[in-house]
A and B are shown apart, each in its own frame.
Chain A
Amino acid sequence: MDIILNIVSWAFIIGGGIFCLIGGLGLVRLPDMFARMHGASLIDTMGIGLILIGLMFQAGLTLITGKLLLILVFVFFTSPTSTYALARAAINGGLVAEVEDDDGSSKQEAGPSKT
């Protein structure tokens, strides 16, 4: 029984680690700042989610699992807020998003409230 729990737990933790790695890769590879935010949100959601679920399997039905669950809930409510603050800061700082048309050509498009 213990070994099954350990295998499941480590599968989740390794999965989360892989997503963190891909998210970090995305931060480097993706073209501009707005696209890179999507890479970061990979770490915020799947990365942290899978690692915490894996840790919950390690902790079993104890209060520690409750604490991990609380961390998960707080992260899921705060990470969109910080992403939004980051996007606002970029737009207010005059950064323009690089977007593609239907024909695949690249162009620059300004943010919403460039004042």
Chain B
Amino acid sequence: MLHAISLAVILSGIWWVLSGLTLVLILGLGAGSILFIIWICHRMDAIDHETHPIHLAIGSLTYFPWLAWEIVLANMDVAIAILKNGSSVRPRLMHIKASQVSEVGLVTYANSITLTPGTVTLDVEGQDFLIHSLTEGSYDGLLTGEMDQKVTALELDKGYPMITQQPVMKDSSEDAPPKPERET
């Protein structure tokens, strides 16, 4: 219920920002479409903590500004590496272990790594990430594990789906038995 209300508030905000008209007709159409979308999402069983992680909202207020600053610093590092004609470019592949337990937490961490220039998540298998890093600085920055700790602190909930084995797609149940590589 809480998720549905929050979805309605967000959709109303988007409708208002994109239209900006106060005509009764337009606002009525907006309210109608929002209710329709919430009904569809409810039917699809797509309103829950995973598609709509409002439990992360409070933590995000401090996490995203921190991430934005990290992105700025990483941008400087990569920009300098490019301008120096690649003399400080040291590409590496490495495996790191993520400490998040929920899928939302793992996705947030993997996306944060990719969003930071200089590091890209190439593969996620359970809690094991394969990372491609460009420079010495981005490599060391990731190894400190600061981002890992911040994302783990962000996912306050511990009761939501744990990663104990490979996440299995619902529609491919024949692939479900222990088979570490999903892509062929």
> Contacts of B83 on A, CB cut-off 8 Å?
22, 25
Question: What DSSP secondary structure best describes chain B's contact surface?
Answer: mixed
Instruction: Tell yes or no: A94 within 8 A of B by CB.
Output: no
Q: Is the CB of B78 within 8 A of A26?
A: yes
Q: How far is the CB of A97 from chain B (nearest CB, A)?
A: 6
> Contacts of A77 on B, CB cut-off 8 Å?
111
A26–B79 Cα distance when bound, in Å, is 8
A66–B14 Cα distance when bound, in Å, is 9
Q: A22-B83, A76-B115, A100-B90 are in contact. Are A38 and B78 (CB under 8 A)?
A: yes
Binds A, one of B39-47, B97-105, B117-125, B144-152: B117-125
> Contacts of B78 on A, CB cut-off 8 Å?
26, 38-39, 41-42
Q: Is the CB of B111 within 8 A of A35?
A: no
Q: A67-B18, A83-B114 are in contact. Are A42 and B75 (CB under 8 A)?
A: yes
Size range of the interface on B?
A: 35 or more
> Contacts of A67 on B, CB cut-off 8 Å?
17-18
Q: Name A residues whose Cβ lies closer than 8 Å to a Cβ of B.
A: 19, 22-23, 25-26, 29-32, 34-35, 37-39, 41-42, 44-46, 49, 63, 66-67, 70, 76-77, 79-81, 83-84, 87-88, 91-92, 97-100, 104, 109, 111-113, 115
Additional 13 contacts, C-beta under 8 A, given A39-B78, A80-B114: A30-B89, A31-B89, A38-B78, A38-B120, A39-B82, A45-B71, A70-B18, A79-B115, A87-B121, A97-B91, A99-B92, A111-B123, A112-B125
Q: Name B residues whose Cβ lies closer than 8 Å to a Cβ of A.
A: 14, 16-18, 20, 71-72, 75, 78-79, 82-83, 85-86, 89-93, 110-111, 114-123, 125, 130, 132, 134, 181, 183-184
